[in-house]
Structure 1
Amino acid sequence: MTAEKTWRARTSTGQLCQHVTICDAEVGEVVEVTGTVHTVTLHPSGGVESFEADVSDETGMVHLVWLGRRRLTGIVPSRRISARGRVALRDGRKVIFNPEYELTIPGSE
């Protein structure tokens, strides 16, 4: 465990996760990361649509994918977001599928 893993929380399904920087989010771990949304896109994925967002912090970038969703209200470029889920690797990039998320209220940080 690195010094960047600062606290533990539980997902809505009861899984324990740690808040980490994106660079410290390891494949296979259930984590919470916080960053800024850079891009959002809608993609067909094998016949199933997905809403996707690239999120970065000062250490790296993670790709968030919500399968079967056309859009998620409030997830727009420049918005701060915290996302929880299991980190996977797709096309050499860190990705979290169907993450739980919370949007940061502007000015609350």
Structure 2
Amino acid sequence: MAAEGYLRRLTRRLTEHPEQRDAEELRDEAATTGAQRAIDCQRGQEVTVVGTLRSVECKGKGCADGVRAELFDGTDTIALVWLGQRRIPGIESGRTLRVHGRLGKLDNGAKAIYNPHYEIQR
């Protein structure tokens, strides 16, 4: 009976898409830290989210608009925007962060946290 369950899990792991597997792992990791799921966060709330940076870029001429990063926690993405910054040491694609701040929106309606407090997890 236990071997049958193991075989079923192994088969699922081998056949599922890697992005789906990564998203599941991120969701599980965020849940164990006590952070909120990005998909459940609403505009105006103070939120704490744990996720991985998918991209980091400097926006605008001479980075006048600051550094913008995309944080993915396995459920949804949140844009992180540090206004007036050209570069932030340690903020790079692939890093896992725990961020805290008030959730807002970008001009295109996407979720965003401006000038979030952050901790680099790994």
TM exceeds 0.5?
yes
Quote how far apart the aligned CAs of 1:67 are: 0.3
Question: Aligned-residue CA RMSD in angstroms?
Answer: 1.9
Residue 30 (structure 2) pairs with residue 51 (structure 1):
no
Give 1:12's aligned residue: none
After TM superposition, the score normalised by the length of structure 2 is: 0.67
Quote how far apart the aligned CAs of 1:65 are: 0.1
Quote how far apart the aligned CAs of 1:49 are: 3.0
5+ residue gaps, structure 2, are 1-30
Identity percentage over the alignment?
34
Picking from 43, 66, 70, the partner of 2:82 is 66
SS in 1 for 2:105: strand
Greater Rg over alpha carbons, structure: 2
For 2:58 and 2:48, locate their aligned partners in 1 and report how far apart those are by CA, in whole Å. Answer: 23
Picking from 46, 66, 84, the partner of 2:100 is 84
5+ residue gaps, structure 1, are 8-18
After TM superposition, the score normalised by the length of structure 1 is: 0.75
Residue 38 (structure 2) pairs with residue 22 (structure 1):
yes
Q: Answer 1 or 2: which has greater strand percent.
A: 1
Give 1:14's aligned residue: none
Residue 97 (structure 2) pairs with residue 75 (structure 1):
no
For 1:73 and 1:83, locate their aligned partners in 2 and report how far apart those are by CA, in whole Å. Answer: 15
For 2:90 and 2:79, locate their aligned partners in 1 and report how far apart those are by CA, in whole Å. Answer: 17
